[in-house]
Amino acid sequence: MTAVGFVGLGMIGKPMALTLARSDLDLLVYDVAPEPVAELEAAGAQAVGSVAELAASVDVLCVMVRDDDQVREVAREAGPGTVLVIHSTVAPDTPAELAASGLTVVDAPVSGGPTGAAEGTLAIMVGGTDDAFAAARPALDVLGAKVVHAGPIGSGTRMKLARNMMHFVSFTAATEAMRLAEAAGLSLKDLGDVVRHTDALTGGPGAIMLRETTAPIDPADFWHGVMTHVVALGDKDLGFAIELADQLGVDVPLARRARADLATGLGL
């Protein structure tokens, strides 16, 4: 049976650790805050007094702390020989930097928020060697419903950064749409309900992420017709939205940029 250690029992880390505690894996935990440690003990985990003690007692050490500096601190205390699974979103070069110090490192950032962490349905993007991935896999399979081995070390982090770039750019686009809706006298809560409902049906922005490349599409390719249709609809609807924004005096720079770039971005 794999023994798993977990460091960092915060907003995402605590529900991740509680999910591990409900599994058949042996779980040991450490955190500087006593309250979440006590909660994990009540759930069946074993608490230890230091990162070094934790690393010496487990097969895999999962880390979900705040930033790169805290990840490095955990790595230093864990010492060489540890299989370190970094769930924190760190700089692209940090995992390889830590691996160079003698650790076996898997960068495995997660997406899915507290709900996904609590339900064991996270998406986990993994970078590392095949052997390192195999060592971490028992814990990852408990934590995630979508575990993707993205490539060599650092690949999981790079995929997470690309995913989060879309996430936060979309948030900015949502604020632009909210300004337009508000100026038009619409309910922002109703708009939000519609967006969440339809994104659940269509897949949201991920619905167009189906090709293996961003290169121009050959006119004979199946996707040429699909994306041509998408661009035609997008150009029409963005045009109407921009026209409405101009009438209402609302600045919509992302909509203008999207209309200008949509065809090229989709490979046309």
Measured distance CA(82)–CA(132) in Å, rounded: 11
* Helix, strand, or coil (residue 184): coil
pLDDT at 103: 93
* Residue of 14, 146, 160, 189 marked catalytic: 160
Structural domains of the chain ordered from first start? 3-159 (3.40.50.720), 210-268 (1.10.1040.10)
Q: How far is CA 26 from the centre of its chain?
A: 26
Q: What does each C-alpha distance from 214 to 148, 154, 163, 210, 265 come to in angstroms?
A: 20, 22, 16, 10, 7
Any catalytic annotation for residue 14? no
Query: 3 and 53 in contact (C-beta within 8 Å)?
Result: no
pLDDT in tens, 167-183: 999 999 999 999 999 99
Is the per-residue pLDDT at 99 higher than 80?
yes
Query: 3 and 82 in contact (C-beta within 8 Å)?
Result: no
Q: 62: which strand partners? A: 6, 85
Query: 112 and 87 in contact (C-beta within 8 Å)?
Result: no
Structure tokens at 267: 């490979």
Measured distance CA(46)–CA(30) in Å, rounded: 9
Measured distance CA(112)–CA(175) in Å, rounded: 21
Environment class of 234 (CB within 10 Å of its CB; exposed 0-12, middle 13-18, buried 19+): middle
Is beta strand 60-63 parallel, antiparallel or unpaired with respect to 104-107? unpaired
Is the per-residue pLDDT at 129 higher than 90?
yes
pLDDT at 210: 92
pLDDT in tens, 64-77: 999 999 999 999 99
Q: Provide mean pLDDT across the span 194-203.
A: 96
